[in-house]
Amino acid sequence: MTWLRHYRMAEAARRLRSGHESVAEVAESLGYGNSNNFSTAFKAIQGLSPLRYRKMALRREKPV
């Protein structure tokens, strides 16, 4: 179960960095019916909420 959770959160991180889907869409597609549960699980693995993770990832990718 731990491996699966980490895999799902890695996939979530990849999809959040792409910026094409909302957090709710990512959560639902990964099997989370409740986006709050998804956010809690994501933060436990990544250390940031999904929205904050996305914002930080997008800031890093902007050309200087």
How many Å apart are CA 61 and CA 64, to the nearest integer? Answer: 9
Q: What is the pTM of this model?
A: 0.84
Whether pLDDT at 58 is above 90:
no
For the chain, give every domain's residue range: 2-61
For residue 53, name the pLDDT band (cuts at 50, 70, 90): very high
How remote is the C-alpha of 51 from its chain's centroid? Answer: 8
Q: Which of 5, 3, 1 shows the shortest CA–CA distance to 32?
A: 5
What pLDDT shows up at residue 35? 92
How many Å apart are CA 33 and CA 27, to the nearest integer? Answer: 7
CATH code for the structural domain at 2-61: 1.10.10.60
Output 24 or 58, whichever has higher pLDDT. 24
